[in-house]
Amino acid sequence: MVRVRFAPSPTGPLHIGGVRTALYNYLFARQNGGKMILRIEDTDQTRFVPGAEQYIIEALDWLGIKFDEGVHLGGPFGPYRQSDRKPMYRQYAEQLIRDGWAYYAFDKPEALEAKRKEYEAEKKTFQYDCNTRLQMENSLSLGMEEAQRRIDAGEPYVVRFKFPDNIDITVHDMIRGDVTMNSRLLDDKVLFKSDGMPTYHLANIVDDHTMEITHVIRGEEWLPSAPLHVMLYKAFGWEDTMPRFAHLPLLLKPEGNGKLSKRDGDRLGFPVFPLEWHDPKSGEISSGYREKGYLPQAVVNMLALMGWNPGTEQEIMSMDELIKLFNVEHISKNGAKFNLDKAKWFQHEYFQMLSDEEVADHLEAQLKEHGISADRAYIVKVAGMMKERITFPSELWDTCCYFFQAPTEYNEKDVAKRWTPDMHIHMAKVIEILNTVPFEHDAIHKALLDDYIAANGLNTGKVMNSLRIAVVGRTVGPDMITLILMLGKDETIRRVERAIEKLKIES
């Protein structure tokens, strides 16, 4: 039974890199008929940010990334928040000490800092490891009895992992193959603190084990920690059930150099967070895909392809298709560059998949905001006609407003270019035609374009664009006669009359 977890720390809004990690876990779980778990890793209380946990839950829910167990759902392996699991970690730290895999350390921050400086002066880097640990204040250098005496006296301590000297540790990564590191390169990481809180490393391994996690799919930034994690499984005697690891490639800046950061988003004007985030301390607001009008399906599809491909050229894939097609073998080892144009392309594609009714819902809401009410069938018709020009719902009003209200001003540049002094004569003729010929496409087309414009040797572009200025306010919009038919005879005539009056006075 496959069991995977997404294990964010509630230190702020969830970066889209984190969203992609959650998505890949979800696709993997669903594909294998397994379970997806949301665990909150909040052991570092100094970095705790109020609201972040709720944000994570809301963001993943918006994107359709669903969980089977988790902090918000409960489940048979709970609690799912590490601070709520606090009492269970001490026994594991003590087990490691008993078995010789860890030790108590009493070094004060100043002592550690002094050591670092001492090494720096010799152009070396201090590492708390097998070469240095006996020079430090810990239960190995002081003896267990002295250590116990200090603990009983209430002296603060930490528990550190004791890496064996000079062994090669191999992590079998599903994406990268075997990654081997020598223990001499690794420092004796802190696992537990005397306040009873484990660090990330201990809590993560204990939880993955006790929650029966089978696969750990997470960002590449955790690869350097993986040898320690493998050693911890060994030290606990849990090697047989150790999860399989897959470290995902980084999401890179659009230029390709370095990890995608919040600052890149600010600089280039795209969100790096799924939802808008209001920082509770600074009050700073960071933009979100949801509030920018992106559709969750578009964001999911775009993220799925950042670091993975289905092995074909197919780009548009629904969540169900992704679940079918996803495979770890096609996850790239290289970082994936963020591409804003591609994000917009996905959004445009998914916007086109909305029904006319759904687009009309957005349009109707915007009309309301402008104090306009209109016939629903008409709104749906406009939505269907105009949606191919739209990428974000917020563009609807500006793109469609002239279907619902006459222009209040006329684009100066367009007027200067098209509206020549003789134009009021031609526009008066348009009114006459509309008043006399049957109000249908072919009749208007023939009367206007053939019998009037062409027969009199007039410039079609100039006359038709002037008509457009009169009706729309600028030279944009759908086919002119279609638009006239949509607006109706009376409304069109009113707009043309108004333009004749306004533009004559102004010119």
Note the residues at the interface with ligand GLU (CB under 6 A): 7-9, 41, 204, 216, 218, 222
- Residue 262 bears catalytic tag: yes
Give the amino acid at 273: F
Q: How far is the CB of 202 from ligand GLU (least distance, A)?
A: 12
DSSP assigned state of 86:
G
CA 108 from chain center: how many Å? 41
As beta bridge partners, residue 117 has none
Q: How far apart are CA 348 and CA 297, in angstroms?
A: 11
Q: How far apart are CA 230 and CA 224, in angstroms?
A: 11
Catalytic residue among 262, 292, 337, 417: 262
Q: Show the DSSP H helices in 376-479 as ranges.
A: 376-386, 396-400, 412-418, 423-436, 441-445, 460-472
* C-beta closer to ligand GLU: residue 245 or 346: 245
* C-beta closer to ligand GLU: residue 218 or 426: 218
448-451: long-range contacts (C-beta < 8 A, 24 or more apart)?
A: 448/481
Q: How far is the CB of 204 from ligand GLU (least distance, A)?
A: 5
Name the CA dihedral angle for 445, 396, 343, 291, rounded to a multiple of 10 degrees.
Answer: 180
Q: How far apart are CA 343 and CA 301, in angstroms?
A: 9
Residues sharing a CB contact under 8 Å with residue 506, sequence separation 6 or more, in sequence order:
415
Q: How far is the CB of 41 from ligand GLU (least distance, A)?
A: 4
Q: How far is the CB of 282 from ligand GLU (least distance, A)?
A: 21
Residue 217 DSSP SS3:
strand
Phi and psi at 272, nearest 5°, equal -110, 5
Strand 69-70, strand 35-38: pairing: parallel
Burial letters for 292-329: b for 16+ Cβ neighbours within 10 Å, e otherwise?
Answer: bbbbbbbbbbbbbbbbbebeeeeeebebeebbebbebe
* C-beta closer to ligand GLU: residue 115 or 262: 262
* C-beta closer to ligand GLU: residue 8 or 296: 8
Q: How far apart are CA 418 and CA 421, in angstroms?
A: 10
DSSP assigned state of 19:
H
CA nearest to 279, candidates 288, 269, 267: 288
Q: Are 231 and 161 within 8 A, CB to CB?
A: yes
* C-beta closer to ligand GLU: residue 216 or 231: 216
145: alpha, beta or left, given left = phi > 0 and alpha = psi -120 to 50? alpha
* C-beta closer to ligand GLU: residue 65 or 430: 65
Q: How far apart are CA 237 and CA 231, in angstroms?
A: 10
Q: How far apart are CA 325 and CA 299, in angstroms?
A: 17
Residues identified as active-site: 262
